[in-house]
Structure 1
Amino acid sequence: MQALFFKHIETLTARTESALATLGFDALLLGSGAAPKRFLDDTYYPFRTQPDFVQWLPQLNQHPGSWLLLQPGCKPKLYLYSPTDFWHQTPELPTGDWTTAFEIEAFSDAQQLRSAFASLSRVALVNAERPDFAAEGWQHNPQPLLDALHFDRAIKTEWELHCLREANRIAVRGHVAAEQAFRAGASEYWIHQDYLAAIEHNERDLPYDNIVALNEHAAVLHYQFQQRQAPSVPRTLLLDAGASYQGYAADITRTHAFDPDSEFGQLIAALDEAQKGILTTVKAGVDFVDLHLEMHARLAQVLTDSRLVNASVEAQLAQGITRTFFPHGLGHLLGIQVHDVGGWQSDSAGTLREPPAEHPFLRLTRTLEPGFVVTIEPGLYFIPSLLAGLRASAAGNTFDWNRVEQLQPYGGIRIEDNVAITAEGHENLTRDAFALVAG
């Protein structure tokens, strides 16, 4: 992987130098970030390295206060914050073959950076906060530069694709363990603990907070709790859980029925087939908005075939029925961040293409290109507040509400794969990882 990483740095260097030249900057200074302090306390929130820094230095995922200086024609230079401290472990200069891609210098006091950067002018500074050592003329988070860099970030290097494959393989181990715990009658809390043990992560390592939803909780799209008590009657597990590898995220969702032969189990199988159907159309040159709309048509067919609704696909789409059952977007860009940046950008200048008004939660409106990694995650949920509105509408009389009410205690379904777009079509990182575990 060493050769892939060095090629990755070459690609980032070329992108950065081009953007700096176009926008009239002499240097880019990326901060690793800082852990924010808790209000009225002397402890800090868990540190998470800022994503633009991660793209260059994924090996340094727990080094707050550090900086990376990028200047055209110069080797990237890392200023590693290494304070004199007896409360915490002091970072040491990193070793390893990857370090030869950088100049590395340790510093113990941020004020030392004033002299280190005194000769710099026309600097773009990317960091959550503007540091005290920044010169007055430096531009803090200039949007045109961020737009240019983030637009290009959608196209992954081969090294980034390797990291995303590995993140999926790790996460799948957790999904297998979590399903086993569910079938053994475990609570949301213990399912989560088994997941963490299987992937050898702690909470801080996760790219996002796992969604571990049993029964009705599966109808809450971003369900945020983990009950210690298992339900007396287990019906459903919706697990939206990822993993990290070298700073890159997997984002996988699977839904399981405790009784796979139940009506809800059959509905999971039907949505799984619909998801695999939409995957056959995922390739370079396809507009992601069109994919999202096509998925609604496929979901309408699932609702008709399951006899939940007595209306044609065309009628359901015209009346917006499927948006009650599938209110979020089909997917998003994936990479360093779970919801990676640039999803609405149509060019490197930052021009935005917002989603259709009736689908406001769609996070990706770009045309797919080789190198993109996206999620494909249709859902079918029984959300009480949305169902109430549908029932009161003119379309309400097309539903078998007795059957809908029978399915409400199961919550809902989401099936999410991570897919890399290739010149020939796509690579399904998630299903490949599940096949590897099964084989």
Structure 2
Amino acid sequence: MGLGTLEVPLELFALNRRRLVERIRPNRPENAIILLQGGNEVPFYDTDTTYNVFRQESYFMWAFGAIEPGCFGAIEVSTGHAHLFVPHFPKSYAIWMGPLHTPEDFSKKYGISNVHYSDEIAAVLKKLNPSVLLTLKGVNSDSGLTSEEAKFDGIDKFQVDNSVLFNEIADLRVFKTDLEIEVMKYVVETSSAAHRKVMRFAKAGRSEYQCESEFLHYCYGVGGCRHISYTCICASHTNAAILHYGHAAAPNDSLFDMGANYFGYAADITCTFPVSGKFTADQKLIYEAVLAANLAVFEAAKPGVSWADMHVLSIKTLLTELKKGGLLKGDVDAMITAGLGAIFQPHGLGHLLGLDVHDVGGYLENQPARRTHPRGIDKLRTARILQERMILTIEPGCYFVDILLDEALADPTLSQFLEPEVIKRFRGFGGVRIEDDVLITKEGVVNLTKVPRTVQEIEDWMAGKDDEKYK
């Protein structure tokens, strides 16, 4: 991007193509070709403007790194040779868009020898004479949406197989290369610094949208991150109990869930802190209960451990701490069995992270299926066994959501564990979430996130201390 930002090497994408070919080659017919279609710009309803700054489709980005819309990419499985197909614009486009780039320009830009115009795709593929075109088609287990399968005029003249590629490439995306890890570290560090800036910016009288703006400005102005990975969740006071909140009003105690995006790679960090700079006794109680859950997972997670078991561990830790704080009573294991954890944390512990904020590969064939017990674990976006090179979020939370509290108090099985008068004190409290982006290594977990986490660290940072700690 610019001075001080990270240069993403073209080898990152070339390596991903080689990994894909190595995965596909053993069981595919000779002369098979992988075909991926990039994203297209989306018009703003019926206007001639686009909805947003274009961001490339993630599978295509993973393999080719091309950031322009309207592209295709092909990989010869037998040789690994790559072909990039770019839009062929009329000369008049140069009036509005500047000098038009040639295939040779794109070849130099992306390190791909074979670059053609997209209107030549049928002719080029015909010369290559593939035995089969392997296209991408599968259902995203988070959204329920089906990936866009490559299509072009003349594809009906080729044999097409869309049953193989999705599971293979989605699984490869779960495990990050060293080059990908460096980009992930950069975007997480940029997002961390932006969060730290917001923590000091947020003051009584300032609005949530102003805090969001401060985050966005830092990520783009300093980190070169033109995109964010999802709509910022900038929630103050009772809004912090709304899991996917937009923005409005003015801050009290604040939950900010925000992450930058750099060349497609996502960060996803949540910080919760008191705008006053000092935790009240109740804020400290709930915050430290969530932090205990976060740290319990951080200490236990390692290769070979079930992510679903980590979800249960976080819930058990949270309920134990709430019991110590006087909100709950009774046996914690019985609380988990009854489903009480989902009353206070209705979302999953965390998710895979990469080119999508809720990255792919969570529930693939031959991987652990989605669990249904205890209540709430079905919201977990993956139940995979942890392995080296996975990057995930650890994001336990505790929220006081009226509709869920009312349900629990009215349910004899759940209400036996509640202390109603203490629960009443926390009505309108909002919520706390602590979200870190972590890398699974041979030794365990490496936290990529660099923000104040303990009560003391947060209070010191907001008081203007500890600048040297994060340099």
* TM more than 0.5: yes
Question: What's the CA shift string for 1:134-167, capped at 9, x where partnerless?
Answer: 4115577824211011112211100010011001
Correspondence for 2:124? 116
Distance 1:143 1:401, change over 3 A: farther
Picking from 143, 146, 171, the partner of 2:166 is 146
Distance 1:56 1:431, change over 3 A: same
1:68 is paired with a residue whose SS is strand
Distance 1:102 1:288, change over 3 A: same
User: Hey, what's the Cα distance between the residues in 2 that align with 1:396 and 1:125?
Assistant: 52
User: Hey, what's the Cα distance between the residues in 2 that align with 1:159 and 1:27?
Assistant: 25
Question: What's the CA shift string for 1:210-248, capped at 9, x where partnerless?
Answer: 11111111111111x221x42xxx432111100122221
> Contact 1:5/1:159 (CA < 8 Å) preserved in 2?
no
- TM-score in terms of structure 2 length: 0.82
CA-CA distance at 1:57 after TM superposition: 3.3
CA-CA distance at 1:75 after TM superposition: 2.8
Picking from 280, 305, 318, the partner of 1:299 is 318
Correspondence for 2:258? 241
User: Hey, what's the Cα distance between the residues in 1 that align with 2:430 and 2:110?
Assistant: 52
CA-CA distance at 1:361 after TM superposition: 0.7
User: Hey, what's the Cα distance between the residues in 2 that align with 1:377 and 1:114?
Assistant: 47
1:111 is paired with a residue whose SS is helix
CA-CA distance at 1:100 after TM superposition: 6.8
Correspondence for 1:367? 385
What one-letter code is carried by the residue in structure 2 that aligns with 1:300?
L
User: Hey, what's the Cα distance between the residues in 2 that align with 1:320 and 1:87?
Assistant: 59
Correspondence for 2:139? none
Picking from 222, 231, 236, the partner of 1:209 is 231
Correspondence for 1:438? 470
> Contact 2:390/2:439 (CA < 8 Å) preserved in 1?
yes
2:404 is paired with a residue whose SS is helix
Question: What's the CA shift string for 1:68-104, capped at 9, x where partnerless?
Answer: 2211314322222252324445663687998574125
User: Hey, what's the Cα distance between the residues in 2 that align with 1:362 and 1:138?
Assistant: 40
1:36 equivalent in alignment to 2:42: yes
Alignment of 1:18-417 (within 5 A): 18-24=23-29, 26-46=32-52, 47-58=54-65, 60-61=66-67, 63-72=68-77, 73-84=79-90, 85=93, 86-88=95-97, 92=101, 99=109, 101-105=111-115, 107=117, 110-119=118-127, 120-121=129-130, 122-126=132-136, 128=148, 130-136=150-156, 138=158, 142-200=162-220, 205-223=227-245, 225-227=246-248, 229-230=249-250, 234-258=251-275, 259-345=278-364, 347=366, 353-357=369-373, 358=375, 359-394=377-412, 395-417=414-436
User: Hey, what's the Cα distance between the residues in 2 that align with 1:433 and 1:162?
Assistant: 22
CA-CA distance at 1:360 after TM superposition: 1.4
Aligned length: 427
Distance 1:3 1:331, change over 3 A: closer
User: After alignment, is 375-384 or 273-282 more displaced?
Assistant: 273-282
User: Hey, what's the Cα distance between the residues in 1 that align with 2:41 and 2:110?
Assistant: 28
> Contact 1:256/1:265 (CA < 8 Å) preserved in 2?
no
- TM-score in terms of structure 1 length: 0.88
What one-letter code is carried by the residue in structure 1 that aligns with 2:119?
Q
User: Hey, what's the Cα distance between the residues in 2 that align with 1:69 and 1:287?
Assistant: 36
Question: What's the CA shift string for 1:373-429, capped at 9, x where partnerless?
Answer: 111110101111111110101122432333323323231111111111111212111
Aligned residues: CA RMSD: 2.9
Distance 1:102 1:407, change over 3 A: same
> Contact 2:55/2:264 (CA < 8 Å) preserved in 1?
no
What one-letter code is carried by the residue in structure 2 that aligns with 1:381?
Y
User: Hey, what's the Cα distance between the residues in 2 that align with 1:51 and 1:335?
Assistant: 9
What one-letter code is carried by the residue in structure 1 that aligns with 2:379?
F
1:360 is paired with a residue whose SS is helix
> Contact 2:37/2:73 (CA < 8 Å) preserved in 1?
yes
Q: Give the gaps of 5 or more residues in structure 1.
A: none
Distance 1:98 1:333, change over 3 A: farther
CA-CA distance at 1:356 after TM superposition: 2.6
User: After alignment, is 206-215 or 267-276 more displaced?
Assistant: 267-276
CA-CA distance at 1:294 after TM superposition: 1.0
What one-letter code is carried by the residue in structure 2 that aligns with 1:272?
L
> Contact 1:333/1:364 (CA < 8 Å) preserved in 2?
yes
CA-CA distance at 1:38 after TM superposition: 3.6
User: Hey, what's the Cα distance between the residues in 2 that align with 1:26 and 1:56?
Assistant: 17
> Contact 2:439/2:445 (CA < 8 Å) preserved in 1?
yes
Distance 1:76 1:141, change over 3 A: same
User: Hey, what's the Cα distance between the residues in 2 that align with 1:140 and 1:321?
Assistant: 49
2:73 is paired with a residue whose SS is strand
CA-CA distance at 1:334 after TM superposition: 0.6
> Contact 2:36/2:60 (CA < 8 Å) preserved in 1?
yes
User: Hey, what's the Cα distance between the residues in 1 that align with 2:124 and 2:325?
Assistant: 67
Distance 1:111 1:297, change over 3 A: same
- Identity among equivalent pairs (%): 26
1:363 is paired with a residue whose SS is coil
User: Hey, what's the Cα distance between the residues in 1 that align with 2:295 and 2:253?
Assistant: 21
